[in-house]
Structure formats: structure tokens, C-alpha cells
Amino acid sequence: MAKPIPRIGSRRNERIGSRKNARRIPKGVIHVQASFNNTIVTITDVRGRVIYWASAGTCNFRGTRKGTPFAAQTAAENAIRTVVDQGMQRAEVMIKGPGLGRDAALRAIRRSGILLSFVRDVTPMPHNGCRPPKKRRV
């Protein structure tokens, strides 16, 4: 029986540490997208490159519970805990969407101890653009 040839430089040997490199980010932007079904919290640096993201779905909320304020609060806390460890002290907050998790996520961000320079609502508002879908019949 032939001896197996050892694979030198295999992918398994190259990456020993974690995949996400721990950059020191003093300032960032926190994007909160709150829909009726889910809340997604994305944290980027000032150039817009994603550092970390979390959603109600990744926090093990399933079904209708993903759209709740508590799920949004948990998602925001999970995301912020990670970037505070990387050294983030100041942030801007952009909130988008009509969901229930808007206020809860913002409350969690304020409690985290990060200094907020501004909070901006970037929900897209149509100036009578597209025709809306037909009314729902139940």
C-alpha cells in the first residue's frame, strides 16, 4: 500500500487565526435597516467597508419574532459588542425602514457607550415614483 503524499501549503494550514482581521477602528457608521420582518444592523468604517453585521435572524429569532423590538435590540447589542472590542469609540447612525425595531435598536446603541455624532433617518421616500402594488384582498 502506497503512503499518502503530504499536502504542503494546503488551505487548512494557511489560516490558523480567525478570518476577520482585528483592525483598530476609532470611528464608524452604524446602519440599521428595520423592516417589518427583520432588523439588520451593519457596522462599517467611514469609507463604507463592512466591519461586522448582525440581524435578528442570526441571533436565533425565527418567524414572526424576528420583527420584534426585542430581537432588534439583541441584534444591535451583538454587533456593537464586537466593534467596541475592536476599539470603536465614535459613530454615526443611519436608520432605514418602517419596522418596529428602529427605536429599540437606537436605544441599544445609545446604551452601549459609543459617542454618537448624529442620527440620520435615510428611509427612501418616493416623490410619487412607481405605481404601488394592487390592494391586498384577505
pLDDT digits (tens, 9 = 90+) for 70-127: 999 999 999 999 999 998 999 999 999 999 999 999 999 999 989 999 999 999 998 9
**What is the band of 131 on the pLDDT scale with cuts at 50, 70, 90?**
very high
Residues with Cβ within 8 Å of 117's Cβ and at least 6 positions away in sequence, in order, are 90, 91, 92
Whole-prediction pTM value?
A: 0.78
- Pick the residue with more confidence: 25 or 27? 27
95, 106 in Cβ contact below 8 A? yes
Q: What's the CATH code of the domain at 89?
A: 3.30.420.80
46, 117 in Cβ contact below 8 A? no
Query: Quick one: which of 98, 42, 49, 39 has its CA closest to 73?
Result: 39
Write down the residue that cell numbers 453585521 correspond to: 53
- Residue 97: other Cβ atoms inside 10 A: 19
The set of cell numbers assigned to 39 is 432588523
Total number of domains constituting the chain: 1
Determine, yes or no, domain membership for 7.
no
Full residue range of the structural domain in which residue 96 is found? 27-121
**Strands annotated E in the chain:** 27-34, 39-45, 50-55, 90-96, 115-121
Determine, yes or no, domain membership for 21.
no
**Model confidence pLDDT, tens digit, residues 33-69:** 999 999 999 999 999 999 999 999 999 999 999 999 9
- The CA distance from 95 to 30, in Å, is 8
Determine, yes or no, domain membership for 66.
yes
Determine, yes or no, domain membership for 33.
yes
Determine, yes or no, domain membership for 133.
no
Determine, yes or no, domain membership for 1.
no
- The CA distance from 30 to 52, in Å, is 10
